[in-house]
Amino acid sequence: MVEGDAEAKATPPTPSTYITYQLPREPCCFSGLSTEDAEKWKNDYERIANYNHWDYSVRLAKVVFYLSGTARLWFDNNEDQFKNWSDFERLFEGTLGRPEDLKSFTE
């Protein structure tokens, strides 16, 4: 066998495969206090949901676990109105996104 033939028949190296694991992120809780920014919380929740690859039904199923206090009470009292994520967003912004409405809700 000639030296050049051995080089021609050598198999190319196999590319390495790297598997990376993306750790899920957890949203912070929103309680509905007047010191909290509801719009910022909702935007952060959606950003984390996108990062975690949650579809809209998963977002709606999980959101209750990230609400506390007045916000959780509001959710529990209105849960039957949340047929989908859009319903939740609309009602959340319409009530918890407006401090004057939230105050009257708790009285």
User: What are the tens digits of pLDDT across the range 14-44?
Assistant: 777 777 778 899 999 999 998 999 999 999 9
| Within-domain flag for 19 | no
| Within-domain flag for 73 | yes
Using CA atoms in the order 39, 45, 48, 53, what is the torsion angle rounded to 10 degrees? -120
| Within-domain flag for 51 | yes
Q: Give the closest residue to 58 by CA, choosing from 67, 49, 66.
A: 49
| Within-domain flag for 18 | no
| Within-domain flag for 68 | yes
Alpha-carbon gap, residue 26 to 10, rounded angstroms: 50
Strand-pair partners of 67: 30
Query: In the structure encoding, which two tokens stand for residue 58, read together?
Result: 């998963």
For residue 90, what pLDDT is reported?
A: 95
pTM here is: 0.72
For residue 58, what pLDDT is reported?
A: 98
| Within-domain flag for 106 | no
For residue 70, what pLDDT is reported?
A: 95
User: What are the tens digits of pLDDT across the range 69-97?
Assistant: 999 999 999 999 999 999 999 999 999 88
Alpha-carbon gap, residue 64 to 61, rounded angstroms: 7
